Amino acid sequence: MKESILVVEDERIIACDIKDCLENSGYIVPAIAAYGEQAIQKAAEFNPDLVLMDVMLKGDMNGIEAAKEIVARFNIPVVYLTAYSDDNTLRKAKVTQPFGYILKPFEETQLITTIEIALSKHQTESLMREALEKEKKMREIKSRFVSMLSHEFRNPLSTIFTSSELLSVQSYHLNEAKKAEYIDHIQNAVKRLDNLLTDVLLIGKAEVDKAQFNPVPLDLENFCQGLVEEIQLSTGDDCEIILTMQGCYPKPEDINPISDSQLLTTKTQLPCLDERLLRHILTNLLSNAIKYSPEGAAVRFDLFCVQGEAIFRIQDEGIGIPEADQENLFTSFYRGSNVGKIPGNGLGLSIVKHYVELHQGEITFASKVGMGTTFIVSLPVE
């Protein structure tokens, strides 16, 4: 489809001739305006690709003033039409950075050529602006990345250095309990570094994972039970994970939010999911739920298998996510403003979202500060 052009010309006959000329060349003319104020109104209403603006208009606002307002508010390119070529008029018009300037009377070829050049120039400038914005964003991400790595690496490395130095220098003066404590500090610091490097590598593997996405029939009931046991083993009794499942196999459940007619009821209908990616998705969400919950609180993990879809719901009673932070929750390196000294690097949820999207699924959440957070992951399984 050809571009749309708003014609601003107070001489009705000339305006109609221009409209016919443009439409004969395949352009769309959504409206004709005769006054500056009307031109701004029509630009807001139709959002044209270009405005053909007469410099001298009747009324309180001339074409140059109207063009200045249109460019500032809507970033629409303007080509001037005028019978005046004096230096003063040209100087005023130049301030608005027009994309073309046509003197009356003009030939049809001149008009169309000027418009084509103006549209092409504006498109090129728009692409350049987008590229610059993208580059600026990448620089900001890189800066945050370097800052985050510096901060996240410094603390565990400091712990490793201090603990190992104490073991080396004061080994003969330390009892076995104290030695075990320093060794434990070193091991925990190494684990933190390993987790950080793993997350960074996962971000870098994003494009590779698109080619390696491998959904296979998966026994979700056994998978989720095994996953909970693994996580529970590493967290101990600090936080209980309450697992409930419905619809994967014909068995009674305590929860019933979904009608029985929707449930998958035969073992032959195993869902197809990528086990490796699903393990990362659920491990991250469950680990976060535990990490941000008070000691002794329970985390609910619900699985619903409905026709063509597996739905995972993770609920905690933790600190919650401030409303101001929720918009950026899946942004790399972004952490909530209320996490305090709780460890993390802001990469986990961005990776989770990427893996959900590889399944062509959806992740949503609801949260309130002090009352907890609920994540829902819906994945197509057919």
Q: Are 219 and 305 in contact (CB under 8 A)?
A: no
Share of the chain above pLDDT 90, in %: 25
pLDDT at 206: 53
Tell me whether residue 209 is exposed, middle or buried, using C-beta atoms within 10 angstroms of its C-beta: 0 to 12, 13 to 18, 19 or more.
middle
Tell me the residue type at 290.
Answer: I
User: What does the alpha-carbon distance between residue 253 and residue 263 come to, in Å, rounded to a whole number?
Assistant: 12
Going from N- to C-terminal start, the domains of the chain cover 5-106, 138-204, 212-380
pLDDT at 271: 80
User: What does the alpha-carbon distance between residue 312 and residue 248 come to, in Å, rounded to a whole number?
Assistant: 12
pLDDT at 254: 41
Query: What average pLDDT does range 26-46 have in this prediction?
Result: 92
Query: What average pLDDT does range 143-166 have in this prediction?
Result: 75
- Selected residue with higher pLDDT from 203 and 282: 282
Confidence class of residue 252 from pLDDT cuts 50, 70 and 90? very low
Tell me the residue type at 64.
Answer: I
User: What does the alpha-carbon distance between residue 100 and residue 145 come to, in Å, rounded to a whole number?
Assistant: 44
> 5-106 sits in which CATH class?
alpha beta
Query: What average pLDDT does range 266-292 have in this prediction?
Result: 82
pTM listed for this prediction: 0.50
- Selected residue with higher pLDDT from 121 and 333: 121
- Selected residue with higher pLDDT from 235 and 323: 323
Confidence class of residue 236 from pLDDT cuts 50, 70 and 90? low
pLDDT at 202: 64
Confidence class of residue 237 from pLDDT cuts 50, 70 and 90? low
For the chain, the average pLDDT equals 82
Domain 138-204 CATH assignment equals 1.10.287: yes
**pLDDT for 80-113, tens place per residue?**
988 766 667 677 777 777 888 888 888 888 899 9
> 212-380 sits in which CATH class?
alpha beta
Respond yes or no on whether the N-terminal peptide bond of residue 105 is cis (omega within 30° of 0). yes
